[in-house]
A and B are shown apart, each in its own frame.
Chain A
């Protein structure tokens, strides 16, 4: 089975801090994704990557950046955390760009910015 591991289940940070959320997958997947999940809004794509050192903006990239230095690891960075970034963050990966390829999700990180 595919294993997508997010470094923290719960995280509390302060406004203005630089925050790193880490995600690792163990199945040599090409594609990796970061979403945020908010009640009533579903999942919204922040950034994605389809190869090492490649990144593409999703629907809501403002206030975020990403890093993919190794194929298995995809990091989400909040450069200067703000209270409106309090949310559930989900990482996902998929094998490749095939339309039929499902995304495999991590457990999520519930981030609170105080």
Chain B
């Protein structure tokens, strides 16, 4: 079965510092998308950033960027200049093609990393 692994159940960062959240995945597909979602406490889950497997350039959204290593099947999220509002659960997710049902829009999620931001 397809798996997405987030090896860090919890992380902590000082305000204004940089933190990197890890994600690895297992796939035999060549075309797929990877996503990072953020779920603040008692609030809605929202999309942070996404990356297409065919694009070598790492995606960036303001203070959020990814380090996508396709051969290593690694997709880490870097948060620069961390802010108190970044405190949340972060989920890495994979969507593939027909092999893993992604052709129907399915996402496969990791178990999440809880990020705390210290003032």
- A-facing residues in B39-57 (Cβ within 8 Å): 43-47, 50, 52
Residues on the A chain within 8 Å of B32, using CB: 99
Residue of B nearest to A45 (CB): B106
Of the stretches A19-27, A36-44, A78-86, the one at the interface is A36-44
Q: Are B103 and A97 within 8 A (Cβ)? A: yes
A100/B107 contact (C-beta < 8 A), A42-B112, A43-B91, A105-B45 known: no
Residues of A within 8 A of B96 (CB): 99
A103 contacts chain B at the CB level, 8 A cutoff: yes
Q: Does more than half of chain A's interface fall in helix, strand or loop, or is it mixed?
A: loop
Tell me, yes or no, whether B109 is within 8 Å of chain A by CB. yes
> Nearest A residue to B107 by beta-carbon distance?
A103
Chain B residues, Cβ within 8 Å of A33: 105-106
List 5 other contacts, CB 8 Å, given A56-B104, A107-B43.
A40-B111, A42-B109, A94-B105, A100-B52, A102-B50
A→B interface (CB under 8 Å)? 30-31, 33, 40-45, 48, 50, 56, 58, 90, 94, 96-108
Ordered by A's residue number, 25 sampled pairs between the chains whose C-beta atoms are within 8 Å are A33-B105, A33-B106, A42-B91, A42-B110, A43-B109, A45-B106, A48-B104, A48-B105, A48-B106, A58-B106, A90-B45, A94-B105, A97-B103, A97-B104, A97-B105, A99-B33, A99-B95, A99-B97, A99-B103, A100-B33, A102-B47, A103-B105, A103-B107, A106-B44, A108-B44
